[in-house]
Structure 1
């Protein structure tokens, strides 16, 4: 058995766990108003990752610490049966179920979502079966021969599901981008397309890489480099998508808070002041001051203004917020607007 790749896998596992901890903390302080179910998924995944890191570290210490130089410890199953197949499949299927819901809010395609969920459940079932089968083995060297089929089904379903999710997100986000007419929405969708392709490609590449090494080199533990840290990649990509809503105030990509429009027209004779709370995608009038006496009809930006005829000058300051689609806002039933059309969640 080759021990070097396994040690690399454990080191990568700890490094990715540190990144995940920072990601979860950023999510915690940035989105306190998210729905409790979404926050529950994030913290449930983090708890599973804590359990996984404890179990894998226990095995690493047993092999490279207390049992160093003992061939039996080197080839013992230990807690690998639960830390890799069961927890990996559980965490990855959890993230895939989240993506299936996001795809449904974009496409309303029940057949596509059904296929994604079916693959996630197949992956979860095969992973649990594989873990139970590994529990009854005597050594790691028996894994490629005794659990060959279940491992192929588990990792193959995970890779296929990730590819399907990545292609679906790319297609529907690109379609929404083509239909959009506002700069803010186009910028947001471009960012989401890039993030979805990058995270999906990373998860699919790691899963396929582990599967190839498992088939091509079954007598070594090279495949464990990917298997040990695979769940951390899924969790990091999942939380990174949620944290993509974070905007740096004053940053290069930060949108303008509001656009002020000045309208000069002949308006009402009486002086009036109006205040309205602007909703998403709607223009709110902050202040309207009128001067002069009643007279000829008035127009604001080519549209007739409300009020009587006037001979004076009216100055209006209007706040107009750019309509956008926040595809990651999940603390309310409405998922945002796309050029004025509501996207329901």
Structure 2
């Protein structure tokens, strides 16, 4: 089987192999981030954040089970069969719908944090509206794909819904990244503490890296989907997109573990340094006090010597005057 419906078979199998491999690799990274979140005592007291994390992980687990089912049917059971290779199976659910729901949950969580930092519900409302728009488009895309017989018709029939989903995802990512970056820059300017500025710099770098990564993958997915038709080129980034969102969100939450350890280390330094500093100050004060006493004693000695000398001179002058008076008499 060299071609399938006039398209080289490698344009179907190659992106599928890469997409499924990256999908499983990113799922392993996600599991490690979840382990860090649950066992590293992340300083997060909100119950709803833990609920969001577990919902996202369960959705990603269901997604990878479905994509593995599709991979086995496409690359193993349908080997040599064009109809089996281009069939959609669970692709209508695991790629657009699950990815749109997972993305919307995470973007709305970021919107809540933006509202806390900015104290502006207008900005948060814009982020939530854009996120819900792309989620609605993903559900519409999934419903359209469900009625299609093969991948050959997906680009034509789901053109608008896919463009809205990926375009809305890209716009929302950029909006979140720039909003948080500007808000964190403002927070850094309002503080003079070097430790706080260092933490904010690391947080700004983390927000830019994670936000731009998901935005770039979304725009690559959209470009491949709109440019190359009747193949699976867009499937590789599409399978990676939801995992990247989940990983970036957990990385953002787990970053506070490093901050907490840094606080503990700085607290230990703050506890240890004043002890040595206090001893040094006490020693310096004692030395200073000793020097002052010596100086004060020497001043008293100098004053006593001068008064004694003056008294001796007075006595000598009186004795001389007495002798002169006696001679004259």
| Maintained 8 Å contact 2:199/2:259 | no
* Equivalent position of 1:120 in the other structure: 131
Once superposed, what is the RMSD of the aligned Cα atoms? 2.0
* Equivalent position of 1:9 in the other structure: 19
Deviation at 1:250, TM superposition (A): 8.1
**Which whole-Å CA distance do the structure 2 matches of 1:103 and 1:167 have between them?**
11
* Equivalent position of 1:190 in the other structure: 201
Deviation at 1:258, TM superposition (A): 5.0
Matched, 1:259 2:270: yes
Deviation at 1:36, TM superposition (A): 1.7
* Equivalent position of 2:216 in the other structure: 205
TM-score w.r.t. the length of structure 1 is 0.73
| Maintained 8 Å contact 1:247/1:254 | no
Once the two structures are superposed, residues 213-235 of structure 1 have per-residue CA deviations (whole angstroms, 9 ceiling, x without a partner) of 11111222111110011100000
Match of 2:141 among 130, 135, 145: 130
* Equivalent position of 1:214 in the other structure: 225
1:71-90 paired onto structure 2 within 5 Å:
71-90=82-101
Once the two structures are superposed, residues 48-95 of structure 1 have per-residue CA deviations (whole angstroms, 9 ceiling, x without a partner) of 000000000100000111221111111111100001000010111111
Match of 1:176 among 163, 187, 193: 187
| Maintained 8 Å contact 2:66/2:94 | yes
* Equivalent position of 1:40 in the other structure: 51
Give the 3 Å change call, closer, same or farther, for CA 252–40 of structure 1 in structure 2.
closer
Give the 3 Å change call, closer, same or farther, for CA 250–224 of structure 1 in structure 2.
closer
Give the 3 Å change call, closer, same or farther, for CA 89–259 of structure 1 in structure 2.
same
**Which whole-Å CA distance do the structure 2 matches of 1:252 and 1:105 have between them?**
23
Q: Runs of 5+ in structure 1 lacking a partner?
A: 265-345
Give the 3 Å change call, closer, same or farther, for CA 219–186 of structure 1 in structure 2.
same
* Equivalent position of 1:53 in the other structure: 64
* Equivalent position of 2:234 in the other structure: 223
Query: Whose helix proportion is higher, 1 or 2?
Result: 2
**Which whole-Å CA distance do the structure 2 matches of 1:226 and 1:27 have between them?**
26
- Name which structure has the greater RCO, CA cutoff 8 Å, separation 6+: 2
**Which whole-Å CA distance do the structure 2 matches of 1:53 and 1:34 have between them?**
30
SS where residue 247 of structure 1 aligns? helix
* Equivalent position of 2:119 in the other structure: 108
**Which whole-Å CA distance do the structure 2 matches of 1:167 and 1:103 have between them?**
11
- Pick which of 62-71 and 234-243 moved more: 62-71
* Max Rg structure: 2
Aligned residue pairs: how many?
A: 264
* Equivalent position of 1:65 in the other structure: 76
Matched, 1:23 2:48: no
**Which whole-Å CA distance do the structure 1 matches of 2:152 and 2:224 have between them?**
14
**Which whole-Å CA distance do the structure 2 matches of 1:11 and 1:31 have between them?**
31
**Which whole-Å CA distance do the structure 2 matches of 1:256 and 1:263 have between them?**
17
| Maintained 8 Å contact 2:110/2:176 | yes
Give the 3 Å change call, closer, same or farther, for CA 194–63 of structure 1 in structure 2.
same
**Which whole-Å CA distance do the structure 2 matches of 1:43 and 1:250 have between them?**
24
Give the 3 Å change call, closer, same or farther, for CA 140–253 of structure 1 in structure 2.
farther
| Maintained 8 Å contact 1:248/1:254 | no
TM-score w.r.t. the length of structure 2 is 0.77
**Which whole-Å CA distance do the structure 1 matches of 2:134 and 2:268 have between them?**
45
Q: Runs of 5+ in structure 2 lacking a partner?
A: 1-6, 280-329
| Maintained 8 Å contact 2:151/2:230 | no
Query: Whose strand proportion is higher, 1 or 2?
Result: 1
Deviation at 1:246, TM superposition (A): 1.4
